[in-house]
Structure 1
């Protein structure tokens, strides 16, 4: 990372833009209207305080746009780190027919139980070795990846499927198919491709326990999986994730106070900006790549 302060500033620009849009929406263009809530859900209104649903109203308008924000933040990190990043990038290449067949076979075996009712456990290295033994004619294939990064210092090219920290099974299956195809192209079009999660809600990688992606990847051991700090430092250089944490913690208190006062219309409680509320990354117990 060439300039940690610029990285942090650029991260804050993305987050501020999202938060300002959300605040404008919940305060102006799409506010919570108590009378409308009572009309549409009279039973709920009779049993539960309006403030609970007012909070839910905000939450829905906050969570939905965050998926795209992760991608924008990744572009910021890649641009400041490796030199170039973009989203929704199409990669065209050639894959041997038997490799395509084996990719489909591998995904089917992971999805469906065997006759003994035991589903095969994912193992990236074993699967890729098996798939690459497939021959046959070259077939043109296109893959649109979530994030494409180029290392302008050495010409390296990298593709990422970037999903929310708790992805569903269907998303992960599609991502694995894309990543397998990218690794099987002849000649290689990218130097590597990864399945990436921007944050680990379980703290350490060895404790990551969300079951849906584990159907397709060994989330604790597969080299093709990057989670949290490993992902950000890979594309942005060492210290990128620390810059992200610092950027969020600097602007967070102002937005929280604004939400309390302007949206919820209450006085912020004592100690609402304690150290407990700060974003942090628990100490990792696995090696960075």
Structure 2
């Protein structure tokens, strides 16, 4: 990674951190007043600095999960001379059998029925289904990258502990995309 890219990433992190610190400092007295009402014993038992640190940590993790990771990934992609876009909408077409197979697969996995998940096997079985009836689907990816060699990459970037629904949506979108565009790459990315 070149020095310019590293500096852009540092600046994005610094700007976000500074905004979080300024907001937390500004809102702390109000937070402590609310805490004294809601949890009077705990507020007096635990030192104020612990409450400050806890509130900052939650705010920091939440704020970073809402776009900073996507922006950092974008900067890295641009730094590699690729074309990139955050919040990329992609319109694809797959056949109805493929769509049904994807939905059945995810439903079975949610209910712990069937085989252990295996990306390659699942993608191959869905991709091999053929019918003339098609469906158009619009998919939103957190990051799209087109490399200088023409390779297209799609990323679902989630927080450190994504919930089941987010994970299922990401997998559905990845299967749909790789079925419609077999030469592309799709990734589930965790910071």
Question: Does the 8 Å contact 1:148/1:158 carry over to 2?
Answer: yes
Q: TM-score scaled to structure 2, two decimals? A: 0.90
1:85 and 2:84 correspond: yes
Q: CA deviation at 1:48?
A: 2.4
1:178 & 1:82 partners in 2: Cα distance? 26
CA contact (8 A) 1:26 1:32 kept: no
- 1:194 is aligned to 187
Match in the other structure for 1:138: 134
SS of residue matched to 1:31: helix
Conserved? CA contact 1:89–1:147, under 8 Å:
yes
- Does 2:44 correspond to 1:49? no
- Inter-CA distance 100–35: structure 2 relative to 1 (3 Å threshold): closer
Q: Distance in 1 between matches of 2:136 and 2:182?
A: 12
Q: Counterpart in 2 of 1:106?
A: 105
Q: Distance in 2 between matches of 1:84 and 1:46?
A: 53
2:168 & 2:123 partners in 1: Cα distance?
Answer: 15
Residues 51-92 of structure 1: CA deviation (Å, up to 9, x unaligned): 221222212221111111101101101111142222111000
The 3-state SS of whatever aligns with 1:135 is coil
> Aligned Cα RMSD in Å?
1.8
- How many residues matched? 188
Separation in 1 of the partners of 2:48 and 2:183? 52
Contact 1:145 1:160 in 2 (8 A): yes
Q: Does the aligned pair in 2 maintain the 1:32–1:54 contact within 8 Å? A: no
Cα distance in 1 for residues equivalent to 2:68 and 2:151: 25
Contiguous gaps of at least 5 residues in structure 2 = none
Aligned with 2:162 (options 163, 167, 171): 167
User: Take 1:35 and 1:105, find their aligned partners in 2: how far apart are those partners?
Assistant: 50
Q: Whole-Å Cα distance in 2 between the matches of residues 87 and 179 of structure 1? A: 16
Per residue, is there more helix in 1 or in 2? 2
Partner of 1:147: 143
What are structure 1's unaligned runs of at least 5 residues?
Answer: 199-289
Higher strand share: 2
